[in-house]
């Protein structure tokens, strides 16, 4: 058996050894965790903007913040109001708009800025109101339409569609536009 000094020396030698070993393990863990952390950070930074809905970047004064699901908002532009109102049954309004776009042939008349201004002026002077319709899809993509007297103007694609009586009335009903 060892004497007192030998035992003491052995205790301290083993302690030193164990402390060094523990530090090495800690360093190894840190060295392997830092790259992992960097990768996770980079990935999350890349993926986060994609997962955020585009509507969040919109600076309009809309009060509806539920952009993660399909939503349809309407504004009566003839009343010079900035406030949109949301459509409760956004799904059917969206379907109706899709059907019109699919079935109708876009007008041959190019929709220049000048034409658009003229149309706005005419609409504001006439007894027919003009409505701005903002459709926000579940993936955040927004499409803006302008609905005036029997014409639907896809502002995003810059295309105009002539509407039949039935389509116009159905659309107004779906968009909860009051009959004047």
Residues that bind another protein (CB under 8 A): 1-2, 4, 7-8, 10-12, 14-15, 18-19, 22
**In the complex, least distance from residue 25 CB atom to another protein, rounded to whole angstroms:** 13
Locate all alpha helices (DSSP H) within 52-175, ordered by sequence: 90-103, 113-125, 165-174
Output the smallest distance, CB 1 to another protein, in A. 4
What is the spatial distance between Cα 51 and Cα 169, in angstroms, rounded to a whole number? 37
**78 closest CA partner among 115, 111, 119:** 119
- The 3-state DSSP class for residue 1 equals coil
Distance (Å, whole) CA 144 – CA 136: 9
Residue placing its CB nearer to another protein in the complex, 21 or 28 = 21
Task: Look at residues 112, 121, 92 and name the one whose alpha carbon lies nearest to residue 153.
Answer: 112
Task: For the CB of residue 32, give the shortest distance to another protein in the complex, in Å.
Answer: 23
Considering the complex, state which of residue 19 and residue 88 has its C-beta at the smaller distance from another protein. 19
Question: Nearest approach, Cβ of 28 to another protein (angstroms)?
Answer: 18
Q: Among residues 22 and 28, whose Cβ is nearest to another protein?
A: 22
* Residue 7 or 117 having the CB closest to another protein: 7
**CB 177 within 8 Å of CB 131:** yes
């Amino acid at each position: 058996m060892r004497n007192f000094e030998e035992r003491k020396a052995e205790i301290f030698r083993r302690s030193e050894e164990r402390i060094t070993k523990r530090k090495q393990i800690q360093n190894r863990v840190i060295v392997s965790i830092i790259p992992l952390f960097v990768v996770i950070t980079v990935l999350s930074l890349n993926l986060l903007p994609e997962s955020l809905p585009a509507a969040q970047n919109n600076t309009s004064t809309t009060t509806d913040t539920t952009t993660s699901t399909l939503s349809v908002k309407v504004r009566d532009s003839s009343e010079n109001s900035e406030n949109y109102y949301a459509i409760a049954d956004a799904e059917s309004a969206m379907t109706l708009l899709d059907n019109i776009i699919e079935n109708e042939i876009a007008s041959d008349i190019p929709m220049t800025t000048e034409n658009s201004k003229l149309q706005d002026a005419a609409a504001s002077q006439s007894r027919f109101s003009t409505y701005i319709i903002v459709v926000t899809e579940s993936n955040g993509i927004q499409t803006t339409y302008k609905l005036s007297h029997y014409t639907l103007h896809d502002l995003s694609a810059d295309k105009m569609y002539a509407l039949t009586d039935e389509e116009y009335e159905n659309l107004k009903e779906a968009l909860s536009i009051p009959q004047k």
